Amino acid sequence: MDWELFRSSFWPIVRGGLTGTIPLSLASFVLGLALALVLALLRISGRRVLSGIARGYISVIRGTPLLVQLFVIFYGLPSIGLVIDPWPSAIIAFSLNVAGYAAEILRAAVLSVPKGQWEAGHTIGMSRAVTLRRVILPQAARVSVPPLSNTFISLVKDTSLASLILVTELFREAEQIAAFSQQFMMLYLEAALVYWVFCLVLSSGQSVLEKRLDRYVAR
């Protein structure tokens, strides 16, 4: 193994993660989470048409590969005259994908809140919307933190697919160095190591957040 190449390539790969992978993951997750909340509320609404639309969207997203979704947006849309640059294409694809999975997490979290909470809000004069915002969603948020954190960690790894549409991130940096040096095995293993370190850090942050939220759980 060429240890000099390993050392010299380590920082460029890490930098690709810090300037590409993490920002891409954060932007996609925030946008996806906002859309997921809308979808979750539509799913539990009493209107069949709205619920059906949300259900259909979730089914399509969960039933098709992320890579296909990414290629449809970046390579497919130009065929109908809609050209989107690599970065926006990646953010759109990852956001739509996250929304499909996070919507079910949020729906389950909202439904896990006892119905008595809705009745309590109504009793003190709150409208359904106010009860949802001030009573239900804060409780649902605490319940949804562990699965949503896992979704984010998975997203960080999934962003490696963005290298296929020329987005400069962690894996693409490794690919470029590997192509120049012809040390494919070492560079790909080095990229895997950096992904693993990133995920370890995020998992530690998840554990800290869960412990902090656990303080507010009644015993």
Least confident of 45-59, 96-110, 114-128, 156-170: 114-128
Q: Is the pTM of this model over 0.85?
A: yes
Between 113 and 32, where is the model more confident?
A: 32
Q: What is the mean pLDDT of residues 130-159?
A: 88
Share of the chain above pLDDT 90, in %: 64
Architecture of the domain defined by 3-214: Orthogonal Bundle (1.10)
pLDDT range class, residue 219, cuts 50, 70, 90 = very low
Q: What is the mean pLDDT of residues 49-74?
A: 95
Q: Where are the domains of the chain?
A: 3-214
Q: Quick check: 213 pLDDT over 50?
A: yes
The CA distance from 171 to 190, in Å, is: 10
Residue 8 has pLDDT above 90, yes or no: no
Looking at residues 154-172, what average pLDDT do you find?
A: 94
Provide the pLDDT for residue 123. Answer: 75
What gap in Å lies between CA 133 and CA 120, rounded to an integer?
A: 14
Contacts of 61 (CB under 8 A, 6+ apart): 69, 96, 97, 99, 100, 101
> Per-residue pLDDT for 216 more than 60?
no
Residue 131: what pLDDT? 81
Question: Whole-angstrom Cα distance, residue 104 to residue 96?
Answer: 13
Q: Which two tokens stand for residue 33?
A: 């989470």
139, 216 contact by CB (below 8 A): no
Query: How far, in Å, CA of 53 to CA of 35, rounded?
Result: 13
Confidence check: pLDDT of 117 > 90: no
